[in-house]
């Protein structure tokens, strides 16, 4: 029994002496890899911090340089998106197009890719026709698809299309946001009698108490004054309120990423106010 134990111990000692350098090598390699990984993490954190600092200081050229370096290291769609949002504010759509084309698998980047195609007046848009064929800015947009456009992209549709009055009236009745109300009132003040003729026999919401073209004109006039210099939409990314219908947020660079702001209490916006 003791003989076998001594024999086993000797074998273990022999094996350790013979192969110990391999264990030492593996441990060293793992340690070096860990250090490299930590160094890369530290570098990306520093680059991200630098980029954000320059962006907050409105030094966009310097910020974009750090974002590019960061993207080269990470190949992360989040970093690509942050860089592209910065580039939209400085009008660098060629670079937005190149970057967003690579990261099309990310829905945010696909959205930017579509807008870069539009901004650069490119004819070819592989990969986005199915998703964006009903978008009002699509080069082959079919006006017969207006309902599909306004249901999916209401802000772009309201700001870029001359909508039929029946469609606009349906939109404002469905959701009386500030943007929709402003557009509707603009139509009314331009052609009160014509608008009244189109909507007089349609179902009216409780807040639209009108019995004549004169009532409709008064309604539009009052609400136009209420909405004067009002914020119309909110950027869903940076949450700043905007008074414009431009599709790029000038605060953060997000493109067509907005929510509509509700109009004032519906019970006080009728012609009886």
> For residues 129 and 111, which has the higher predicted lDDT (pLDDT)?
111
CB 79 within 8 A of CB 109: no
How many Å apart are CA 216 and CA 219, to the nearest integer? 5
List the domain boundaries for the chain: 1-74, 146-268
How many Å apart are CA 76 and CA 92, to the nearest integer? 20
> For residues 238 and 160, which has the higher predicted lDDT (pLDDT)?
238
pLDDT tens-digit series, residues 47-87: 999 999 999 999 999 999 999 999 999 999 999 999 999 99
CB 156 within 8 A of CB 256: yes
pLDDT tens-digit series, residues 212-268: 999 999 999 999 998 988 899 999 999 999 988 788 999 999 999 999 999 864 444
Q: Residue 254 phi/psi, 5° resolution?
A: -60, 145
Q: What percent of the chain has pLDDT over 90?
A: 54
> What is the model's pTM?
0.78
């Amino acid at each position: 029994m003791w003989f076998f134990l001594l024999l086993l111990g000797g074998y273990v000692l022999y094996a350790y002496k013979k192969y110990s350098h391999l264990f030492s090598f593996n441990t060293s390699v793992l340690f070096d890899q860990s250090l490299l990984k930590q160094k890369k993490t530290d570098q990306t954190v520093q680059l991200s911090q630098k980029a954000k600092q320059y962006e907050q200081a409105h030094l966009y050229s310097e910020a974009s340089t750090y974002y590019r370096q960061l993207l080269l290291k990470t190949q992360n769609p989040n970093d690509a998106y942050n860089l592209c949002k910065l580039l939209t504010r400085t009008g660098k759509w060629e670079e937005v197009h190149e970057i967003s084309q690579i990261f099309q698998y990310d829905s945010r980047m696909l959205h930017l890719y579509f807008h870069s195609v539009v901004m650069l007046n490119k004819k070819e848009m592989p990969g986005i026709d199915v998703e964006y064929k009903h978008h009002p800015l699509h080069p082959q947009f079919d006006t017969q698809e207006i309902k599909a456009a306004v249901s999916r992209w209401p802000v772009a549709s309201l700001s870029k299309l001359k909508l039929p009055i029946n469609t606009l009236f349906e939109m404002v009745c469905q959701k009386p946001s500030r943007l929709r109300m402003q557009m509707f009132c603009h139509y009314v003040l331009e052609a009160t009698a014509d608008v009244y003729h189109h909507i007089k026999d349609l179902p009216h919401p409780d807040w639209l108490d009108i019995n004549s073209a004169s009532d409709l004109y008064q309604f539009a006039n009052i609400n136009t004054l209420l909405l004067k210099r009002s914020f119309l939409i909110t950027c869903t990314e940076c949450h700043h309120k905007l008074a414009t219908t431009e599709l790029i947020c000038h605060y953060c660079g997000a493109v067509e990423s907005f929510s509509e702001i509700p109009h004032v209490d519906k019970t006080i916006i009728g012609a009886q106010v």
